Structure 1
Amino acid sequence: MTDFTRTRSLFHMPDGVIYLDGNSLGPLPVAATDRVRSMMSEQWGKQLIRGWNSAGWMAQPRRIGDRVGRLIGAPEGTVVIGDTLSIKVYQALAAALELNSSRRVILSDNGNFPTDLYMAEGLLRSLDRGYQLKIVAPEEVEDAIDATIAVLMLTEVDYRTGRLHDMKALTQKAHAAGALTVWDLAHSAGAIPVDVSGAKADFAVGCTYKYLNGGPGAPAFIYVAPRHADAARPALSGWLGHQAPFAFDLDYRAGAGIERMRVGTPPVIAMAALDAALDVWEGVSMNEVRKASIALADLFIREVEARCPELTLASPRDGDKRGSQVSFRHANGYAIMQALIARGVIGDFRAPDAIRFGFTPLYIGEAEVRAAVDAIEDVVNNRRWDAAEYRKMAVVT
């Protein structure tokens, strides 16, 4: 049984703060500070460049990739860490298109995170082969899958509303229509049970700074199904994806399996923090995390709706149909969120009108949820948000 009292003690949480934004940036794991300090002083400081061999820096992307893989149902040796999520989206989509080269349509939805769509648009313009990016509403995806689709590219959990796609069912339908799948797990990994193997996903990507708590800018991951591992061509043929990087060949030869999806030099300091963050998951049941998360979010929805009639629920009411986040709509959502943050209740805002809250049982419990709703009730019903300082738009919302 997962001990959430224990997991709570593994995070640094500032006094006076109720943190409901782990769906955007996870809090600092206590162990990460010492882990990074040790890496910098004992490894980088003393071993210098020798650390690539003696400290195992070069092997970290695969080793830590396997740790992430256990949280998403991926077999050992099918996940690698490195670069950014945007790069991993580009890699996965480019490889999938080449594997299904007779078709020209990529299907996605308007709940996909914009960067995924931007990367797709940029890739298709570069290829200049008559590709089409077809974007439909989330609820229209299933009916839009047909024999014209080359790749179905979706974010499993809608970043705005938390709406949850059925990965297994949609992948099955895509395969039946002759399409491949690319799944973005940015709002799934560490939030809900994921089984890329059981769903027979072709490719999956994700970031590690949200529910995996790897820190701001933590490296992303990519999964390639074993059946594609030696056929998927890396469009970004970086030095570290080469079969023998230190042979310094002038011609590129792709590495074996998932190794070919490596691109740039591993971010060793960032991976030290991520490695420490992943220790939190030892002894944690993802199913129990999911059950607790739904209970917390359900409580939040009930209390907010009962006490704040001005707010409109934007997320699915059924917990089984959403991820670990809840959004409400209000025309003055940005100002409301700034007023809440000023009172120590931290969520975030997503244009045009959504205030968004994440529920992570590893460090959030019922008491925090009820206290957060108290603050929301005061801010909304007493118009505490109606002040100039709360309307000034910051760079990051």
Structure 2
Amino acid sequence: MMTDFSKTRQAFDLPDGVTYLDGNSLGPMPVGAAQRVARMMTEEWSQMLITGWNKAGWYTQPRRVADRIARLVGAGPGQVVMGDTLSIKVFQAVSAARALRPDRRVILSDRGNFPSDLYVAQGLARAVDAELRVVEPEEVEAAITKDIAVLMITEVDYRTGRRHDMKALTRKAHEMGALTVWDLAHSAGAVDVALLDADADFAVGCTYKYLNGGPGSPAFIWTHPRHADAAQPILQGWMGHRAPFDFDLAYQPAAGIERMRVGTPPVIALTALDAALDVWDDVSLTDLRARSIELTQAFIAGVEANCPEVVLHSPRDPQQRGSQVGFRHPQAYAVMQALIDQKIIGDFRAPDVLRFGFAPLYNGLDDVARAVDGLTRILRDRLWDREDYMQRADVT
């Protein structure tokens, strides 16, 4: 049965009159999230107090929610766990992968990676006497040599939408004796990720973008089963202990993916995320990918036919692109503020990129048409040329 995207759209509480093309930064609120969180607070936290860790299953919630995400990233049950922030999970995955290759010191990444991942790797490299080597995105495959310990790549470039070939790069890394860490921040819920099929080693991702878990919702981490009982991340926490309530002063890692837990689960946030994942139960990732390509192709065609002032900043080939499109304009920030004023919401990425994310769960061709019309009018009539549109806000 084909996925009914008109039905999934009804699962989101989108403001009237808004065309929302920023789900690659923060997904909208699912209709059921507020009620689910309210029920958790009034029936569980309020009435159960601390007994909710057992009675309501708060302690095991990170595993249950993670199993729902596993299907969306091509992983198996019991291979993913939730918790903490994406940066923490990046640190855990890269440090664990590096420790599995103790005779090598190079962590390889690319300039299209999200800066936070590079910051984490820079700090880790200082701590363990390693080297972070950064190349251009198109140079990654050639740069995978026999001195590489870890390949750390964000599958879909946050700015251009360029999609790395996970299977090919993982194969090359393994041929050279390296391990892979994939950041799925702009992949999970947007494209057809297949971790096991690609034979990847580690993966991490956030849940507040295409998975619609809410601002600051917790990250996830996946370890291939062949590494699950050998991985030893530097960052070890109470919840990752074999028997946390023995209060042993010496750390003993839990079995499998459980050792990748660190801090206390964010139960309220996980409850909202669990509600957000309900909509995925009837979604085919094949249909999702096809719909994403339809939307992004239509948007590129419409903008290029009507807006000669902008230049495409994303791959033209949809097979090399995630579910977002970027266009360059010298006044991109002001142009985006003018669009937002007209209730067409995308975002800006420095230095000059207009970025638009397309989420098939709630975006349709009507959103594409409205965005094209709005951008055309703003550029044609120079509606962006206002002083207030040029004043940078704290979050861009």
The one-letter code sitting in structure 2 at the alignment partner of 1:40 is M
Counterpart of 1:14? 15
Equivalent residues in 2 for 1:18-97, closer than 5 Å: 18-97=19-98
Secondary structure at the counterpart of residue 32 of structure 2: helix
Please show how residues 220-231 of structure 1 align to structure 2 within 5 Å.
Answer: 220-231=219-230
Query: What's 2:187 paired with?
Result: 188
Deviation at 1:352, TM superposition (A): 0.4
Match of 2:169 in 1: 170
In the alignment, the residues of structure 2 paired with residue 377 and residue 320 of structure 1 have an alpha-carbon distance, to the nearest angstrom, of 27
2:308 aligns to what SS in structure 1?
coil
| 1:122 aligned residue | 123
The offset of 1:367, in angstroms, is: 1.0
In the TM superposition, residue 212 of structure 1 has moved relative to its aligned partner by 0.3
Q: 1-side partners of 2:316 and 2:111: how far apart?
A: 20
Partner secondary structure for residue 282 of structure 1: helix
What residue number does 1:246 align with?
245
Q: Distance in 1 between matches of 2:144 and 2:65?
A: 35
Tell me if structure 2 keeps the 8 A contact 1:65–1:221: yes
Q: Which amino acid letter does the alignment assign opposite residue 63 of structure 2?
A: R
- The superposition leaves residues 294-338 of structure 1 with CA deviations (integer Å, 9 ceiling, x where unpaired) of 111111001101100000000001111100000000110000000
Structure 1 residue 172: Cα displacement: 0.3
**Match of 2:182, SS?**
strand
User: In angstroms, what is the RMSD of aligned CA positions?
Assistant: 0.6
Identity %: 65
How far the C-alpha of 1:366 sits from its partner, in A, is: 0.6
Unpaired segments of 5 or more residues in structure 1?
none
Q: How big is the shift at 1:5?
A: 1.0
1:328·1:355 contact (CA, 8 Å) conserved in 2? yes
Q: Which amino acid aligns with 1:367?
A: D
TM-score after normalising by structure 1:
0.99
Amino acid of the structure 2 residue aligned with 1:379 = I
CA contact (8 A) 1:82 1:267 kept: yes
- Matched residues in 1 for 2:358 and 2:77: separation? 29
Q: Which amino acid aligns with 1:45?
A: S
Partner of residue 107, structure 1: 108
Whole-Å separation in 2 of the counterparts to 1:224 and 1:360: 27
Partner residue in 1 for 2:307: 308
Partner Cα distance (2:118, 2:212) in 1 = 25
Q: CA deviation at 1:52?
A: 0.1
The separation in 1 between residues aligned to 2:321 and 2:170, in whole angstroms, is: 18
Could you tell me how far apart the structure 2 residues matched to 1:234 and 1:323 are?
30
Q: Secondary structure in 2 aligned to 1:361? A: coil
Note the 1:192-231 alignment, pairs <5 A: 192-231=191-230
Identify the residue that residue 266 of structure 2 maps to in structure 1.
Answer: 267
Q: CA deviation at 1:368?
A: 1.3
SS at match of 2:90: helix
Deviations along 1:135-184, whole A, 9 cap, x unmatched? 00000001111101100000000000000000000000000000000000
The Cα shift of 1:234 comes to 2.6
* Letter of the 2:107 counterpart: I
How many Å separate the matches in 1 of 2:361 and 2:251? 44
1:104-141 residue CA offsets vs partner (Å, 9 max, x unmatched): 111100000000000000111122x2x21110000000
Q: Any runs of at least 4 consecutive aligned residues in structure 1 with deviations exceeding 6 A, and if so which? A: none
2:289 maps to a residue whose letter is R
2:372 aligns with 373
Provide the C-alpha distance between the structure 2 equivalents of 1:119 and 1:132, rounded to a whole number of angstroms.
12
Query: Per the alignment, in what secondary structure is the counterpart of residue 147 of structure 1?
Result: coil
Instruction: Work out whether residues 32 and 276 of structure 1, in 8 Å CA contact, stay in contact via their aligned partners in 2.
Output: yes
Letter in 1 for 2:51: R
Question: What is the alpha-carbon distance in structure 2 between the residues aligned to residue 255 and residue 198 of structure 1?
Answer: 26
User: Per-residue displacement from partner, 1:190-211 (whole Å, max 9, x unpaired)?
Assistant: 0000110010110000000000
SS at match of 2:282: coil
Structure 2 unaligned runs (5+)? none
Counterpart residue number, 2:338: 339
For 1:251 and 1:142, the matched residues in 2 are separated by 41
Tell me the residue number matched to 1:395: 394
Tell whether the 8 Å contact from 1:234 to 1:254 is kept in structure 2 after alignment. Answer: no
| Amino acid corresponding to residue 221 of structure 1 in structure 2 | F
Matched residues in 1 for 2:196 and 2:202: separation?
Answer: 10
Aligned-pair CA distance for 1:381: 1.4
Secondary structure of 1:205 counterpart = strand
CA contact under 8 A between 1:121 and 1:133: conserved in structure 2? yes
SS in 1 for 2:151: strand
Aligned length: 395
